[in-house]
Structure 1
Amino acid sequence: MPRTTNPAPLPPPQEGFKVACSTCALRQVCLPTGLPAAEVEQLERMVAVRRPVARNTVLFKAGDAFEAIYLVRTGFFKTAASAEDGREQVTGFQMAGEMLGMDGIFSGAHACGAVALEDSQVCVVPYGRLEDLTREIDRLRRQFLRLMSREIVRDQSVMMLLGAMRAEQRVAAFLINLMRRLRARGFSSSSVVLRMTRDEIGSFLGLTLETVSRTFSRMQDDGLLEVRAREVRVLKPRLLLQLVRRSS
């Protein structure tokens, strides 16, 4: 991955970085509702540390040994793999409350890499501890499976984007999905500051940089969006949704 720094070694637990799931603002996203305090304390002991990840820093690389699941606490990440021609192929964008690293469960090694798109923080969950605790706490096991299912559904949605939609429909669907996820975390449902570049959006959607740029310009000319550098405001959300639905 271009212009990124190597992954830093996992820091030891230290004051100020120990996890307190019971007071975390993302508790409703990560934890099953009604989890007793004693079980929350077990979960806190399982999570090794909160790890800061500076912008453009690699969290893990393709081929790295799989050791942990990462829950994004703050910030934004992209996951990417190398295409057959050596180019970077972006496979996803992850925000607060979402998981990273599950690609390594099957083979024991990561199939893609993850890079922070802004200064971020992750909760590190050693997978061995997670297996032990999910055997003990049934509600936590169901929650973990639910989070995994959410990631699978998102991947399936991407495949539908690439297979059935025109360029402007792909971009519209991308924006709608991104804003829905942000709204679920208390952010604006009509505007977003894109942490990724146009080129990264194109890689994710199977479009060229030029096509993504032209599509944003066309949508702005049509009055659907207001675009100022990386800030995008949706002016006509119903028309944007109708544009996506035309594919069916």
Structure 2
Amino acid sequence: MPDTRVSPNHYLKAACANCSVLELCLPLGLSGPEIERLDTLIVQRFKVKKGTALYRTGDPLRSLYAVRIGSFKTSMVSIDGREQVTGFQISGEMLGLDAISADEHACSAFALEDSEVCPIHFAQLEKLAQDLPSLQHSLNKLLSREIVRDHSMLMLMGNMNSDERLAAFLLNLSQRLSLRGYSSRDFILKMRREEIGSYLGLRLETICRGIAHLRDQGLVEISGREVKVLNLEGLKQLVAGCHRSALR
């Protein structure tokens, strides 16, 4: 990993068994001894400063990265130079799965805040997975989760209007934060509104109008990057209404 991309002076000893996001990460479903064997693959975890690239499009596949602290965005650049955000990853989620098929990264990953990742050398991970069926199963679940996420994104883009897309995005983030022990109703957006718009296929002005519409419906209050969910059930019903319409 080039020194220009990660902070070189903050290396820490890894310990999967003591990690606060253990139940959301690759070790999910592994026994204590199996987690210890996986832990040997993580020689050192490292910090990635806000705005810094963890890897870039075209970089060779060396490791998968478990987000321990902080958050990231993944993105691609179109031929005309426009950025297309493809996802947002938070603690307990994996980065680098995009590189498995072609042995090189199909997108870039940037830290949205000062973050920390656990690198897992992929060749060693594959070898260990041959000895541990439970680890292979866990890796398969991660890959399946990515497929499901892609399908959800297609549903989002194909069947939802702009307000519903924004509501679905906020609801998804709320649920993911809740799984990690954070508030599902009060949280801070780490990404800019332009980045949300890129992810949802919406213009910045449409995002701003959507925020106003959700506020007027008494669902969400957003001030700057501070989000307060006023009516969680109402937000769910707005998103569910789109699915019901799609089935008609």
TM-score by length of 2: 0.92
CA distance in 1: counterparts of 2:207 and 2:187, whole angstroms: 17
Q: The residue matched to 1:196 in structure 2 has which SS?
A: coil
Q: The residue matched to 1:52 in structure 2 has which SS?
A: strand
1:134 aligns with 2:121: no
1:222 aligns with 2:217: yes
CA drift of 1:158 comes to 0.9
Stretches of structure 2 lacking an aligned partner (at least 5 in a row)? none
CA drift of 1:63 comes to 0.7
Which residues in structure 2 correspond to 1:89-128 (within 5 Å)? 89-128=84-123
CA distance in 1: counterparts of 2:24 and 2:237, whole angstroms: 29
CA drift of 1:90 comes to 0.1
CA drift of 1:36 comes to 3.1
TM-score by length of 1: 0.92
Provide the identity percentage: 45
Which residues in structure 2 correspond to 1:1-248 (within 5 Å)? 6-8=4-6, 17-30=12-25, 31-33=27-29, 35-37=31-33, 39-247=34-242, 248=245
Stretches of structure 1 lacking an aligned partner (at least 5 in a row)? none
CA contact (8 A) 1:104 1:110 kept: yes
CA contact (8 A) 2:16 2:22 kept: yes
Aligned Cα RMSD in Å?
A: 1.7
Q: The residue matched to 2:67 in structure 1 has which SS?
A: strand
- Range 204-213 or range 152-161, more displaced: 152-161
CA drift of 1:40 comes to 2.0
CA drift of 1:223 comes to 1.4
CA drift of 1:48 comes to 2.8
Q: How many residues align?
A: 240
- Range 238-247 or range 153-162, more displaced: 238-247
